Structure 1
Amino acid sequence: MAAQVLSLLREVSRLEAPLEELRALLSVLQAVPLSELREQVAEMRLGPLFSLLNQNHREQTTLCVSILERLLQAMEPVQVARNLGADLERGLTHPDDSVKILTLSQVGRIVENSDAITEILNHSDLLKQIVYCIGGENLSVVKAAIKSLSRISLTRAGLEAVFESNLLDDLKRVMTASDIVRYRVHELIVEISSVSPESLRFCVTSGLIAQLLRELAAEDVLLRATCIEMVTSLAHTHHGRQYLAQEGVIDQISNILVGADSDPFSSFYLPGFVKFFGNLATVDSPQQICERYPVFVEKVFDMAESQDPTMIGVSVDTIGILGSNAEGKQVLQKTGTRFEHLLTRIGHQAKNASTELKIRCLDAISSLLYLPPEQQTDDLLRMAESWFSSLSQNSLELFRGISNQPFPELHCAALKVFTAIANQPWAQKLMFQSPGFVEYVLDRSVEHDKASKDAKYELVKALANSKSIAEIFGNPNYLRLRSYLSEGPYYVKPVSMTAVEGAE
């Protein structure tokens, strides 16, 4: 079969319009195992196929792309990089996006291979065309180009190729195409910067990080909103946070929050700025962040009282993030009655808001109320019980009502709240004293889909594994929980068949 491929390739190279031969070649290729092709691919001349791509013939282009896709798959990335660099470069300037996608898929193979990548680092024209693909309209092409440049920049040699050559000028040039393209380059730079302190140094020296940070203070509020998302990504790494702190960027963001009250357009960027500090609090000390930037906590509380569902959602998410660990819980507790009022507000939204916001409220409540066994001090348990009481006049019935609604997402989110408190003695007593609650937990017929069955199983597991459950629920119920646990989430009780005398 491989010999037939060689024969057809030779025939294709001799003809000007070899449509029939290309169809036959594709048909044969699909039947030849890759292992057999790999043995013969070194003898195959692919130049004619790349040449046929340059003719303005749609079907011919489609056939050549499919054929090359199969043949190049049989070649080692080093071979592709070493022998077909010029063809790849031309492929990236082709007007047909399918050719660009084919080419970038090969570039992707090359940059993932430590031996092959060195072959293209000095191929400046090919790298230049990859950069210009970032400015394209086809998102598949754009994403593949960004991914390749990001991968190239993982090594020092790659960083030097991108940032210490004319390629940097190409990057800056392509950024001027439009705001959208500029954002794409910013995203690429942030992604590269996040890899290591050395990567960040290269990006800082290029001037591109400074350009991104300048746009944080731009008059264009939509530009601010986009830039803060990228700065938040940079702050996910320790070296990124250090840089932002040293450059005064975190203080700058805090000052913008302070001035947001007098800005009629602040609603466009305020959610992103609050999310920035919320993310900082998860990776640094929540107490330090909240004490150093009190305007952040103030804005979170203000947004919860807003009539804008977007603002409420961001506030609720941030509260959930802040209260996800013991230190954050204590920070919130120190705000006293104001936080109690906020909890009542969240409980109200969990019952009355849109489905999406209800789920976000339930997720935040789960995060706030959960206490791992090792953190269950008397103070924290009392605090969790107090918070639960603040959510509604009868919080247990509130969540039970939500869990009975015929919407799987809401049902699971409510079960998640019960799971969060299931290992806390005060909650177990509430559950046991609520008529029918234990039976509801043990009733498998309530759950109809996989997600709900899994969520119920997590609740049963949290209860069954608690040290206090046997004493509070009683031994018979404890044994039923253990039985449920051992049977697994998808157990179906077998139906007994009773023989009827005289039945056929």
Structure 2
Amino acid sequence: MVFTFTYGVMAASIESLLEEISGVEDPIEELQSLKTALLSLPLSALRDSVSGQRFHVIFSLLHSNDREQVELCVAILERILMALSPVTLAQNYRSELQGGLAHPNDTVKILALTQIGRMAEHPDAATEILNNNGILGAVIHSIGEDKLAVAKQAIQCLSKLSHSKPGLDKLFQSDLLKVIKDVMAISDTVRYRMYELVVEISSVSPISFGYCANSSLISQLLGELTGEDVLIRATAIEMVTTLAHSQHGRQYLAQQGIMDKISNMIRRAETDPFSSLYLPGLVKFFGNLAIMDSPQQVCETYPAFQNKVFEMVLDPDPAMIGVALDTLGLLGATVEGKQVLQKTGEKFKAVLLRMSQLASSGATELRVRSLDAISDLLTLQPEQQTEDLLSLTESWFHLLSNQPMDMIRNISTQPFPELHCAALRIFSAIATQLWGQKLMISTPSFMEFVLDRSAGQTKEAKDAKFELVGSLVGSSTAAEILGSQHYIRLKTYLREGPYYVTAVTSVSTEGAD
């Protein structure tokens, strides 16, 4: 009963503070008191306290040049409006929120858009908004705002609205489609924000994709791929790659001949002095496509892609090398991808040698990306460990260097935590494979290196070493290959956990023999 009474008193004080605020000329002090009162109540109690009250006075105080006053009003309204249901908001505060979208202060715009977003997620409240072209038009115009945070919030609002058929109808089959296209004409930046929204809506379902395609906005985006401006082209390829993440998106792109178009762009890139700006995006597109569909099908249908990846690894430009390494890692992580790479014979041997050089020297970021790609290439799940695939990963490992075990171990002892962890991931990759375990036990002092807790003191390094130990212990052949003594020590390491520290006891020897 005490709590009910306390909250009741608090509700009464909120009401009296609102009355005070409406009666004073400079309400800063009263607003501060109201903010304190609101923050002292949990949302559940606040819901009861504010449900019957009207807060139009706070909205009216937003129209001020006093920055402190506006910020206090925003803080108060954030708290109050979150306590109200989306339906209550839609019924009582539509015009105030619409006014907030035209406010010169960005925090007021974001407040309004956040609350409109809450309404957009609620079926009954969303109906109220869908019947209000003024609010929807203002939200669409907010995508054209200078402040990115405002535009992002507006994109979220419209994305939420599009999760229903009435929302899709309103955005793409009414006068609002013209508003969308008019806002897109503001600038290249705003146009791409709108594409971002369209791509997001398209990915939800084949139905929502259909609405976007019928609006001609997707074909407009695809037209940007071959535009004159190379920077616009680079942004367009990113959007199209996202579009390809869904199966219905990929089907549409294939029907429109976009895969062939991008393959031709890769071919022609050699004669374009600005191709370095968009080429990485084209390669990423096919890399993603290969993982989602089939590495073999993509590499065989679009040989320009695979050839370009091999070329890029040998390129002097770090941006090209990085994308090529990541793509090789993506391809090589799958069995089908490994087989596709192996088929290229000497070409891939040259690539592996280059990867080994990159892992051993150069900029740290490229070294890490190279090591990560190598570990992806060498990884085989237990069910994938056929004789042929084990022979393939073993031959690749030996192509890295005359002494690959020493090479990787040397990298792991360098004073860069990210290199240390990346090198350990390679050892984890081969630790589950019979040939890898045989190499480990035949390499002098290697097992001591594995069991040594003093190397690599960061959390990431300890986790990477623990993963290596886990890979060894989890293998069905480890006990036999490594011997019982090593196996027992590895199991102890695993049981003690990654962060175990051996206690060192100091014993006084004074007066002893």
Do both share a fold (TM > 0.5)?
yes
**Shift in Å at residue 12 of structure 1?**
1.6
**Shift in Å at residue 71 of structure 1?**
1.2
**2:283 — aligned with what?**
274
Q: Given the alignment of the two structures, is residue 42 of structure 1 paired with residue 51 of structure 2, yes or no?
A: yes
**1:256 — aligned with what?**
265
Aligned match for 1:481, one of 477, 480, 490: 490
Aligned match for 1:23, one of 15, 24, 32: 32
Q: Given the alignment of the two structures, is residue 244 of structure 1 paired with residue 258 of structure 2, yes or no?
A: no
Identity of aligned residues (%): 56
Equivalent residue letter for 1:35: S
Supply the distance in 2 between the matched residues of 1:82 and 1:405 (Cα, whole angstroms).
Answer: 64
Q: Given the alignment of the two structures, is residue 431 of structure 1 paired with residue 440 of structure 2, yes or no?
A: yes
**1:287 — aligned with what?**
296
**1:90 — aligned with what?**
99
**Shift in Å at residue 78 of structure 1?**
1.5
Equivalent residue letter for 2:47: R
Supply the distance in 2 between the matched residues of 1:170 and 1:17 (Cα, whole angstroms).
Answer: 40
Q: Given the alignment of the two structures, is residue 51 of structure 1 paired with residue 70 of structure 2, yes or no?
A: no
Q: Given the alignment of the two structures, is residue 218 of structure 1 paired with residue 227 of structure 2, yes or no?
A: yes
Supply the distance in 2 between the matched residues of 1:63 and 1:276 (Cα, whole angstroms).
Answer: 47
**2:7 — aligned with what?**
none
Q: Given the alignment of the two structures, is residue 201 of structure 1 paired with residue 210 of structure 2, yes or no?
A: yes
Supply the distance in 1 between the matched residues of 2:34 and 2:385 (Cα, whole angstroms).
Answer: 70
Equivalent residue letter for 2:224: E
CA contact (8 A) 2:44 2:83 kept: yes
**Shift in Å at residue 497 of structure 1?**
5.6
Supply the distance in 1 between the matched residues of 2:44 and 2:477 (Cα, whole angstroms).
Answer: 61
CA contact (8 A) 1:363 1:416 kept: yes
Between Structure 1 and Structure 2, how many residues are aligned? Answer: 503
Supply the distance in 1 between the matched residues of 2:213 and 2:383 (Cα, whole angstroms).
Answer: 43
Supply the distance in 1 between the matched residues of 2:205 and 2:45 (Cα, whole angstroms).
Answer: 42
**Shift in Å at residue 34 of structure 1?**
2.5
Aligned match for 1:391, one of 383, 400, 423: 400
| 1:3-18 matched pairs, under 5 angstroms | 3-18=12-27
**1:105 — aligned with what?**
114
**1:142 — aligned with what?**
151
**Shift in Å at residue 501 of structure 1?**
7.7
Q: Choose 22-31 or 228-237, whichever is displaced more.
A: 22-31
Aligned match for 2:413, one of 383, 404, 411: 404
Supply the distance in 2 between the matched residues of 1:56 and 1:461 (Cα, whole angstroms).
Answer: 63
Equivalent residue letter for 1:316: L
**2:241 — aligned with what?**
232
Supply the distance in 2 between the matched residues of 1:214 and 1:361 (Cα, whole angstroms).
Answer: 35
CA contact (8 A) 1:134 1:145 kept: yes
Supply the distance in 2 between the matched residues of 1:111 and 1:396 (Cα, whole angstroms).
Answer: 58
Q: Given the alignment of the two structures, is residue 121 of structure 1 paired with residue 130 of structure 2, yes or no?
A: yes
CA contact (8 A) 1:464 1:478 kept: yes
Equivalent residue letter for 1:312: I
**Shift in Å at residue 341 of structure 1?**
0.9
Supply the distance in 2 between the matched residues of 1:16 and 1:126 (Cα, whole angstroms).
Answer: 31
For 1:437-479, what per-residue CA distance to the aligned partner results, in whole angstroms no more than 9, with x for missing partners? 1001011111311111111110000011111111211110011
Supply the distance in 1 between the matched residues of 2:318 and 2:78 (Cα, whole angstroms).
Answer: 48
Equivalent residue letter for 1:123: N
Supply the distance in 1 between the matched residues of 2:87 and 2:505 (Cα, whole angstroms).
Answer: 65
Supply the distance in 2 between the matched residues of 1:302 and 1:378 (Cα, whole angstroms).
Answer: 31
Secondary structure in structure 2 of the residue aligned to 1:445 = coil
For 1:306-355, what per-residue CA distance to the aligned partner results, in whole angstroms no more than 9, with x for missing partners? 11111111111111111111111000000001101110000000111211
Aligned match for 1:165, one of 158, 171, 174: 174
Supply the distance in 2 between the matched residues of 1:27 and 1:280 (Cα, whole angstroms).
Answer: 54
Q: Given the alignment of the two structures, is residue 375 of structure 1 paired with residue 387 of structure 2, yes or no?
A: no
Q: Given the alignment of the two structures, is residue 464 of structure 1 paired with residue 481 of structure 2, yes or no?
A: no
**2:83 — aligned with what?**
74
Q: Given the alignment of the two structures, is residue 330 of structure 1 paired with residue 327 of structure 2, yes or no?
A: no
Supply the distance in 1 between the matched residues of 2:127 and 2:499 (Cα, whole angstroms).
Answer: 52
**Shift in Å at residue 156 of structure 1?**
1.1
**Shift in Å at residue 396 of structure 1?**
1.3
CA contact (8 A) 2:17 2:30 kept: yes
Provide the alpha-carbon RMSD of the alignment.
1.5
**Shift in Å at residue 499 of structure 1?**
6.6
Secondary structure in structure 2 of the residue aligned to 1:467 = coil
**Shift in Å at residue 27 of structure 1?**
2.5
CA contact (8 A) 1:2 1:36 kept: no
**Shift in Å at residue 183 of structure 1?**
0.9
**Shift in Å at residue 495 of structure 1?**
3.1
- Structure 1 residues 502 and 149: CA distance shift in structure 2, 3 A: farther
CA contact (8 A) 2:417 2:456 kept: no
CA contact (8 A) 2:420 2:456 kept: no
Supply the distance in 2 between the matched residues of 1:260 and 1:500 (Cα, whole angstroms).
Answer: 76
For 1:380-403, what per-residue CA distance to the aligned partner results, in whole angstroms no more than 9, with x for missing partners? 111101111111222111111111
Equivalent residue letter for 1:445: S
**Shift in Å at residue 48 of structure 1?**
1.2
**Gapped regions of structure 1 (runs ≥ 5):** none
| 1:303-382 matched pairs, under 5 angstroms | 303-382=312-391
Supply the distance in 2 between the matched residues of 1:377 and 1:148 (Cα, whole angstroms).
Answer: 51
**1:184 — aligned with what?**
193
Supply the distance in 2 between the matched residues of 1:268 and 1:63 (Cα, whole angstroms).
Answer: 46
Secondary structure in structure 2 of the residue aligned to 1:444 = coil
